[in-house]
Every structure is written in structure tokens, then in C-alpha cells.
Structure 1
Amino acid sequence: MESISGTIYDKLEEGQKALEQTEWTLARDCFQSVVRQEEIPEAFELLGRAAWWLDDASTALEAREKAYKLYRERGDSRCAARVAIALAYDYHSFRGEYAISNGWSRRAQRLLEDVELSPEHGWVKEWDGNVAIEVEHDPETALRLGSEAVEIAKKLNDFDLEMMGIALEGLAMVCAGHVDAGMQRLDEAATASIAGEISELEVAVNVCCYLITACERVQDYNRAVQWCYNVKKTTSGGTYPLMFFLCQIHYTSVLIWRGDWDEAEELLIEASESLMTTRPAHAAEGMVRRADLYRRRGRFDEAAALLKKAGKKPFRMLGANFQLLAKAALAYDRGQLETAESLAERYLENTPSECRVVLPQGLEILALARVELGELNTASETANELRSIAEFIGTEPLHASACFVEGMLCLGTANYKGACKKFERAVELFEKNENPFQASRARVGLARSLHHLNRKKPALHVLHSALETFNKLGALPEEKRAKTVLKKIKSIPSGQTDGLTPDTFTGREMEILCEMARGKSNPEIASDLFISVRTVERHVSNIYAKLGISGRSARADAITYVHKNGLLKNQNIQSGSPN
């Protein structure tokens, strides 16, 4: 740097001032002017930074790789390591190429082995901790790395690194289920960011993104609303589009939760399409959220197309597991229950048990699919696991989700009083936390339970309330289900089943009907009765036809008929079974 000419030095200084004032284009032009005259590693490094803010991927990567090479030729391992850390992020963010990203991170670590303790030692740990959370779902490793980054920052008196490490610690704690302790760390780091104590802009915004991500994971949307407002205010204005669009994607989760679906859709389209060509790995998150919103609105084909795209390179690195979860939810809404069950199981298998906060959504889909498949024993085990996590994490929305699943399980076992209590609690908690969609789903379950208890008037009241919300949101699949329940309540007096008697069924049909009521699946019934699964399915079809039932609730309705008419008890007496 000391040997460069005055003209080049002036241009380099002009570019640095432009960076400080967030004038990214001017900064890029200045640094490009410098490197055209002389290959200076510092100028290439700064050019990479300016291009990064402009989402100019090719320039950023080329400039940083050149800076790395020149630093290595100079024998400056620390500066080369710093650039290597930036390249690890670039290949992760721009290209979605995890192997290359990992390679740059490992190079940074190797280069720093013989370097005196420096901020770069902390930043490489922070980056690896970020990967542990985002890609590997390993909060224990992320927590360790965050703590090590904080210790390095304290020794070096590096405030930015300290706050970033504290934020990583907080996110890792939340993901492991230690919500209160984790949120305290995240609130502290985010406050330092908003207060202007953090000097680097990207660090300030990343700290807030960690906090909002944690809020999403545990559905603490009241806290998320407060921070989203501040982060949006900080990143609006067009000078740093990456941070604005990433925050916009996170903000849509709040909008979807609160029922502002039209605004959420507009923001997701804008953000994901803006990031599509430059930051595909981050665009994948927006694509999956958008697909999930389309699913809720009954736009199944559009949702499936987006999820298919999100499952391909270069998007799938960040979106793979959450894309799997969204596919499970889509299959469930389409009535493809076996597929939904299989996809939810795969999602849970791919998620380490230590990362508790991302398990509930998969457990909910799995439990609901099993209830509707009549696999009541395994559904009960899944519901218990969901309840255990909800109790451990302690947030009200997770308690509400657990209550909803338990209500559906009670419906499947004809425990209508228990179902009423569970659905009423779910409605109360979802309403308290301002989620009209989930509250209305719980109301439909409550209406079904009330109807079975011969309380037709209150059943119709809560059902009409749910229908009004679904119509307002444009939640067509749930509106259709609610209308089916409404038709059933209006057309069939409570406590009756179209005058059917047990004699309506053949002996084998009655046997299968009772096995269904015991919570056995079709394959289990086939195994117990020494017949094929196809034969069981044919008998089940005949049972549904005689009962005049169809659709996703048909199995639950058939089980309800068994319990209402005491058929299970009668069969046990006839067979001589004490049970």
C-alpha cells in the first residue's frame, strides 16, 4: 500500500469513503479504476465488498478470489483468511454450493493456525456456527462456536464480533429448546444493533435476522413484530437490497401468521424473484414460504411447481428440509394421507432430535395424517411427543398446536368431551396470539365435537365464525372442509346415523369396522385377519358406502359410529374377550 502512486491512493480513498456512505456503485467504480491500473489485494478485497452489496455475484467472486491469490503471494495469511471467510459466505449465498463454501472455510482455518489471535479467528467460528444452524441443524455445535467467538472478541475488544457471537449463542439456545435464555441474548444483541453500537452494517442486520429467525422457530410472533418493524425501518431505502429482501422474507411469516395473506404474497413474490438470479440459496426460502401460502389458498398446482423448483440446484442447499415439510403439508391438504405421513416421517428423520424447535410442525402433520388414516395408536404417540416439546419450549402457539392435534385425536377415538376442551383451549391460545387461520381450524374441530354431543346450535355458531374467516383469507381448502361439516350438521340430526343397524354389515365388515375403531391401520388389520390389504380396502369402501360417508373424515366418522352404537363392546362380549 505504501508504494502506490498518489493518484491511485486518492481513488482508493474515494472508494472507501463511498463504502462508508453506502454509495455502492460509486465505490465499485473507484475500486475497478484502481485495479485496472495496479493489482492491489486491498483494492480487490474492497471491490468484492462493494459488488457484494450490489448483488453483483460475478464481480464479487472474481475480485475476492483475486484478492486471496495476491494476499497469499504476499505471504499475508491473516488477510487471505479474511477473504476466504467472505468467499465461504459467497459460495453459500450466491451459488448454493456448500462443498466449495466449506472448502473456503477450511482454508481460512488452516491459514490462521500460525497467526496470532485476531478477529478472523472469531469470524470463521461464527460462520461455521451459522452453517451448523442453517444447514446441519446442529445447535450444540453452533452454541460452542458462538461461545468461542465471544471469548475471542472479549480478548480483542471487538464489539461487533462479540454481539454476533452472542446472537449466534442465542439462536443456538432457542433451537435447542432453551428459549428464555436464548431470547435474552438475542434481545441484547439486537438492541445494540438498533442503538447504533455495531459499526458494520451487515453485522447489525445479521444480528436482527438471527433474532427474527428464532422468533419464527418458536412462533413468538409478538416479539418478531417489534423487531421486524425496526429492521425494516433500518434496511428500507434501497441502499442495501440484499438485507431488505431477506428481512422482507422473514417479515412475511408475521403477516401470514396474522392473516395478512395478500400483503405477504406480494412481498414474497418481490423478494424471491429479486433474489432468484443473484442469491438462489436465499431465494429458496422465499419460494418455500410462497408455496406454503399457495397451499393454504388451494392453489395446489402452483405450490407443487414452486416446491419442485426449490428442490433443485442451486436452491436446495438451504431449502431442502423445509421444502420436504411443505410437501408433506401439501400432500395432507390434497388428501394424500399416506404420502403426507411418509414425507413428515422423512422430515423428522432428517432433523436431529437436539434441534427441538423445528420438530413440532413435522409432528403435527404426521399426527393428523395418522389420525385420518385410523392409525390411532401411533397418532397418540406422535401427539404425546408434540406435547412434550410444547411443554419444554413453553410458548403459547406451540401449546395451541398441541391442543389442536390432541383434539383431533379425541375426535378419532369418539372422546367428544375431551375434544371440546382441547379445541376450546386451542381457539383461546391462537386468538390470543393473533392467528385467525389456526383459530378457525380449531373452531371447525370444536363444531364437530359439539355436534356429536347433540349441541347443534353452538356447533353452528362456531362453524359460521370459522367460515367467515376462511372466506376473508381466501383459505379455500379449509373453507370447503368447513362447508362439508356444516352440511353434515344441518342434514343429519345429532346422535343419529341414518337409521343404520349392525345387521346392515356383513360379519367380515363388522370385524374390520371394529378393528378400525381399535386404532389399527389397514395393513395391521390385513395381517391380523390373514387377508390382503386390498381385500381390507374393499371392505372399508363398502362400509363407507353403507354409512353414506366419504372424504378425509370418513374413517373418523366410521369409528364414531362404532363407539356410538357400542359395537366394540358387543363384539368383545360375543367373542368372549374380557377387553
Structure 2
Amino acid sequence: MTISASLDQGRAAFAEHRWGAAFEELSRADHERGLDPVDLERLSTTTLLLGRDAEGIDLATRAHEAYLEAEDAAGAARIATWIGIYLMGKGDDARGNGWLARARRIADSTGTAAESSAALLLVAAALDDLYAGEPGRAARTFAEAFGIAERVHDRDATALAQLGQGQARLMLGDAVAGLALLDEAMVAVTAGEISPVASGVVYCSVINTCHLAFDVRRAQQWTIALDRWCGDRPEMVMFSGQCQVHRAELYRLHGAWADAVTAARVAQDRARLGDWTGSFGAWYQEGEVQRLRGDFDAAELAFHRAAESGYPAQPGLALLRLAQGRSRLASSSIDEAAAEADPSTRRALLAAVVEIDLAVRDLAAARRAADELTAAAAVTEIPMLRAVAAGCEAAVRLEEGDARGALPALRAAWALWQELDAPYEAARCRVLAAQAARALGDDASAVMDLEAAREVFDALGAVPDVLRVDELARRSPGSRSTPLTAREVEVVRLVAEGKTNRAIAGQLYLSEKTVDRHLSNVFAKLGISSRAAATAYAYEHALM
């Protein structure tokens, strides 16, 4: 095969998004004679998309040096900027800042290069402001970058500047303008106007931002688009794990928890293959499902793996501590996370702040957090944010002794969660409604709400919530009381299902000795001596 044939086929494969073939042919052409700067850049992009991170950066460095040798300062500054942005995104700040400094030096050395690379450099500077909690300054810099990018027809920089402006606007509380800018950035991506790496960055950043803004409908629409984009590029590793993370988050919200874990584990596999963009979410999403299922050891492991990526595993880890009975640690960790977060991320933490503050009896702090959520929801029509705010308002009102005032907020929250097809959150509203009804003396409504919530929790496999509902039901004036603890009830229920002690131990992550002890306590409390009698008791007392 001639050199020109390898190069031609490599370029064709690149244009057709056949990354494996592009890598093979361009690498062959590079080995035979060497590539010019543009083709080296293509090979670098291909290598990065295949998940070969270090090799891709080395090739980008070679492309940068080739541009310098060709006295193409504009090309050298542009690729240096991209290397810097890429490394900063990975958390390699020292090397990233070094490359950005080099890009600025090269751009400053010639007016032509300065004009063509200024937009990307301004995007990088604005990102620093955004991550430093300066959204106002970031918005102005992104706007300046957008103006330059439009003038020099740099479509990548244009899309990234729009993305950044949207994120900054959301952080400043202007959800309508922010989300509109995100949608506009996505138009360039879906139209195929920008490069593969820039497309992936915009896709994943927009979906992440939509989740932070509680706009689950937009997140779902763009996740479907990202899924299609990744599907059209089956060899691509980078961004493919992040796509699975977004799928997992939506599955979890909609109650498909087994599918959520499957998607999270696919994302973990993609992370091992080289997609570092999804490494945090891959483990965090699994941790959330395991926490909700009551498998606290698995959740602990997953959250720690998520934190290894450099991002705090919050609010999941704080809520896990609360479920483990370590409420003070839960409170300190969520307070620290909320204090350090940017405004958008802080809003995503506030529901957990309310739940944990109520658990530690800090009613004043819970009220402040609920009021902050209510204020944020008042300026937007985003259903999920309104549902979260209404649920938190109701929970605080209940603790303040205003059960009657809590009911309208609960009805609104439940209706919104139903509309969003979020069964777990809707069921939690039913539990709060039962508590409010009981406080108002309406025991019949309380029993009805608890039974409806328990049915949902049981179907989802939300064991801690099932046990909590059972405990609330036992306290109900109209319910049959039982002397058994929540764990003993769980053991009796599994005995009634015909499970052996070994099977029960495996399902509850206990030792067989511990299960034996629980069963002995059950027999002693109930005055029975057989598993058949325990089964009969379970059915007689509606424990099944």
C-alpha cells in the first residue's frame, strides 16, 4: 500500500467517524513518512477518542511542534490552547496552565495568531472564573469570546462560549436565559458543525448542567441525542461512559434501578478503557442505587470509588451516613459540601441539607434551606425544582407543627413527581402525607397513604423505606402492634417466603449466626418455636 493510499484512507475514515480505521491508517502513514500538522492533529483526536489518553496528548504535542516548525503560529497557539483546556478538565492544573501560558505567549507574538486563537484562550480564562465561583465575570468573558469566535468563524469556540454563557447564567439564577443558551450550543453539535471532541464536551456539559438545574426533561431529550451520537460512533471510548452515566441517572429517577446499575457498570467498564469523563458518575450512580436499596457496604465502596476522581460524592455520601445512624457526621459533611459549592451545585444539595437538618433536630437550619429552595423555584417553571422545593417545604412545616399547612405543598409535590414519572420521590410524599394526616387525626387516610407508599418501595427494592413505613404503620392507632424490631420483621418476612437462614444472611448481608440470633429473639418474643408459626404470624399481622 502506498503512502498516499494510507493517508487518503485515514482521512476518509476520520471524516466518516471510523476511529479504529483512522487510527490504523494515519499511524501507518506517520510511520512511513511522517504527517503534516493537520494530519497529526487528526491522529491525536482519533487517539483521544479511542481512550488512549497519554498517547493522544503526545501526538497533540507533536502537532503543536509541527505547526511551530511550519511557522504557523495560529495553529500552534490553537492546539496548545486545546491541550491546556483538556488537561485542566482532567484536573491536571499544573500542566494545563503551562500549556495555556504557552498559547498566550505564542498568540501575543503575532497579531494574526492572536485574533484566531483569542476566542479559545478567553474560553479557558472564563472557565477558571466559572470554577472559582465568579459567574458574573465568567459570563462577560464568555460573551467576549463568543464575539471574537463569531468574527473569525471558529465554530468550536462559538459553541463552547455559548455553553459557558449558559452555565454562568444558570449560576446567576437566570434559568430561562441560561437554558436557552445551552440549547443554542447544542444546535451546532446536532448539526455536525463542530469537531468531535468539542461536540462531546458540549453534549456532556449540557446534560450535566440540565441535571443541576433540575430540568430533567431537557436532560432526557439531550441524553437521547447523545446516545444516538455515541451509537453512530461505536468505536469511540471517550464520552461513551459519560453517556451511560446520564442513562443511569434517568433510570434511577424513573424507578428502573436494575437498569441504572447496569448502565453504571457499563460506564465503569468504559472508564477502565480510557473514558475518564464518566469515572465519577459511573460509581456515584451505582452508590445512589445501593444506598436506596439498603446495601450500605456496596454504597460505601461505590462512593469512595467516585471520590477517587477528585469530586466529593455528595449528597449521596452524607445521606448514606444518615441511613447508617451517623447523623452528626452526615450533618457536618453536607454542610461542608454546601458551603463550598457554587450556586447551581448548592441548589442540588439543599434537599439533602433539609433532610439531614431535620434528622438532627436543627429546625432553623432546615427552614433556611427550604426557603432557599422555594425562592429558587419561584423564578422558574421547571417541574422537578418545584417538586423538590414543595416537598422540603412540607417536611419542614410538619416539624414546625403545621400539618395542615404541609398538605397543599405535599399534594403539589406528589402531582409533579407523578408527572415526572419518579415513583420513589412520589412515594416519599405519600409517607409525609400519612404523617400529616395522622397529626390531624385522620388515621384512615394515614393508613391508605402508608400502604400505597409501601407498595411502591417494595416494588423498587427500597428496603430502608419499607422498614420505615412498617415502623410508622405499627405506631398507627389503627394498626396491629408487634413487639419485633424492624430487622426482626425483615427476618420473619423472609422466613415466611421460605428462605433458609443461609439465604436470609446472604440477602441481608448478615452472618448466619446473626440471623440465628434474630430468629431466636423472634421465637422468644412471640412465644413460638417453629418457622411455620413465624410464617403464620407474618400473615396474621400483615407483615408480608
The residue number in structure 1 matching 2:44 is 48
Task: Check 1:193–1:324 CA distance in 2 against 1; reply closer, same or farther (3 A cut).
Answer: closer
The aligned counterpart of 1:434 is 421
**CA shift in 2, pair 1:385/1:448, >3 Å:** same
Deviation per CA, 1:398-426, whole angstroms, max 9, x where unpaired?
A: 22222222222222232221222332222
Conserved 8 A contact 1:122-1:149:
yes
CA distance in 2, matches of 1:146, 1:250: 26
State the match for 1:292 in structure 2: 288
Question: Which of the residues 449, 452, 463 maps onto 1:462?
Answer: 449
Moved more, 266-275 or 224-233: 224-233
**What is residue 118 of structure 2 aligned with on the other side?**
121
Inter-partner Cα distance in structure 2 for 1:378 and 1:159: 46
- Matched residue, 2:511: none
Deviation at 1:101, TM superposition (A): 2.2
Query: Which of 60, 64, 68 is the equivalent residue of 1:68?
Result: 64
**For residues 156-184 of structure 1, what are the alpha-carbon distances to aligned partners after superposition, in whole Å with 9 as ceiling and x for unaligned?**
13344323322322232123321111122
Cα deviations by residue, 1:86-125 (Å, 9 ceiling, x for unpaired): 32244346x6423322322232222212332444322233
Matched, 1:112 2:107: yes
Q: What secondary structure is seen at the aligned counterpart in 1 of 2:193?
A: coil
1:25 and 1:132 mapped to 2: Cα distance?
Answer: 37
SS in 2 for 1:228: helix
Q: Distance in 2 between matches of 1:130 and 1:15?
A: 34
In 1, Cα distance between equivalents of 2:464 and 2:86: 40
Aligned counterpart, 1:389 = 376
In the TM superposition, what are the counterparts of 1:95-494 in structure 2 within 5 Å? Answer: 96-115=91-110, 116=112, 117-130=114-127, 133=130, 135-194=131-190, 196=191, 198-237=193-232, 238-280=234-276, 282-312=278-308, 315-316=309-310, 319-320=311-312, 323-352=313-342, 355=343, 357-490=344-477
Go from structure 1 to structure 2 and tell me whether the alpha carbon gap of 1:136 and 1:286 turns closer, same or farther (over 3 Å shift): farther
Question: What SS does structure 1 have at the residue aligned with 2:421?
Answer: coil
Change (3 A) 1:159 1:90: closer
How far residue 358 of structure 1 moved from its aligned partner, in angstroms, is 1.8
Deviations 1:304-363 (A, max 9, x none): 112222323xx11xx23xx143211211222322111111111112113xx2x2222322
**Deviates further, 473-482 or 155-164:** 155-164
Q: TM-score, normalised by structure 2?
A: 0.81
**Aligned counterparts of 1:17 and 1:76: Cα–Cα separation in 2:** 25
Deviations 1:374-405 (A, max 9, x none): 22223222322222222244423222222222
Q: Following TM superposition, by how much is the alpha carbon of 1:253 offset from its aligned partner in structure 2, in angstroms?
A: 2.1
Shift in CA distance, 140/430, structure 1 to aligned 2, threshold 3 Å: same
Shift of 1:216: 0.6
Displacement of 1:197 in angstroms is 5.1
- Distance in 2, matches of 1:103 and 1:325, equals 34
Give the CA deviation at 1:283. 0.7
Which consecutive unaligned segments of at least 5 residues does structure 1 have? 1-5, 494-579
Cα gap change, 1:112/1:285 in structure 2, threshold over 3 Å: closer, same or farther? farther
Task: Flag the 1:282–1:205 CA change in 2: closer, same or farther, 3 A.
Answer: closer
Q: 1:491 to 1:119 in 2, by over 3 A?
A: farther
* Residue of structure 2 equivalent to 1:84: 80
Work out which structure has the larger RCO, using CA pairs closer than 8 Å and 6 or more positions apart in sequence.
1
Q: Tell me if structure 1 keeps the 8 A contact 2:20–2:235.
A: no
Q: TM-score, normalised by structure 1?
A: 0.76
- How far has the Cα of 1:478 moved from its partner? 1.7
The separation in 1 between residues aligned to 2:372 and 2:332, in whole angstroms, is: 17
Residue 317 of structure 2 aligns to which amino acid in structure 1?
Answer: K
| AA at the equivalent of 2:426 | A
What SS does structure 1 have at the residue aligned with 2:464? helix
Gap regions ≥5 residues in structure 2: 481-544
For residues 132 and 269 of structure 1, do their structure 2 counterparts lie closer, same or farther at Cα, with a shift above 3 Å needed? farther
Q: Is the 8 A contact 2:238 2:277 kept in 1?
A: no
Cα 1:247–1:175 change in 2 (3 A) is: farther
CA contact (8 A) 1:345 1:362 kept: no
Q: What is the one-letter code of the residue matched to 2:118?
A: H
Query: Does the CA-based 8 Å contact 2:473-2:479 persist in structure 1?
Result: no
* Aligned Cα root-mean-square deviation (Å): 2.6
The 2-side partners of 1:119 and 1:465 are apart by 62
Describe the shift of the 1:160–1:68 C-alpha distance in structure 2 as closer, same or farther (beyond 3 A): closer
Q: How does 1:500-515 map to 2 (within 5 A)?
A: none
* Deviation readout 1:470-505 (Å, 9 max, x if unpaired): 112112222221111111115679xxxxxxxxxxxx
